[in-house]
Amino acid sequence: MKADLSVIRSKRAFIIDMDGVIYHGNRLLRGAAEFVGWLAAEGKAFLFLTNSSERSPAELSQKLARLGIEVGADHFYTSALATATFLAAQVPGGSAYVIGEPGLISALYDAGFTMNNVNPDYVVVGEGRGYSLEALDRAVRLVRNGARLIGTNPDLNGPSEDSIVPACGALVSPIELAAECKAYFVGKPNPLMMRNAMKKLGAKREETAIVGDRMDTDIVAGVESEIETVLVLSGVTRAGDIGRFAYRPRHVLEGVFEIPG
Domain limits, the chain: 5-51+188-258, 81-185
Buried b (16+ CB within 10 A) or exposed e, 96-115: bbbbbbebbbbbbeebebee
What is the dotted CATH code of the domain comprising 5-51+188-258?
A: 3.40.50.1000
Q: What is the pLDDT of residue 243?
A: 95
Q: Read off the pLDDT of residues 50-99 as tens digits, 9 standing for 90 and up.
A: 998 999 999 999 999 999 999 999 999 999 999 999 999 999 999 999 99
Kindly indicate the confidence band of residue 162, based on its pLDDT and cuts at 50, 70 and 90.
Answer: low
Select the CATH number that applies to the domain covering 81-185 from these four: 3.40.50.1000, 3.40.50.150, 3.30.9.10, 3.40.50.2300.
Answer: 3.40.50.1000
Q: Please identify every residue annotated as catalytic.
A: 17, 19
More confident residue, 26 or 12: 12
Across the chain, what does the average pLDDT equal? 94
* pTM strictly above 0.75: yes
Percentage of residues of the chain with pLDDT beyond 70:
97
In the predicted model, what is the mean pLDDT of residues 175-203? 94
Q: Residue 261: pLDDT above 80?
A: no
In the chain, DSSP assigns E strands to: 13-16, 23-24, 27-28, 45-50, 76-78, 95-99, 114-115, 122-125, 148-151, 157-159, 164-166, 184-185, 208-212, 228-232, 251-253
Kindly indicate the confidence band of residue 34, based on its pLDDT and cuts at 50, 70 and 90.
Answer: very high
Q: Residue 164: pLDDT above 80?
A: no
What angle (nearest 5°) sits at the alpha carbon of residue 7, between those of residues 32 and 16?
35
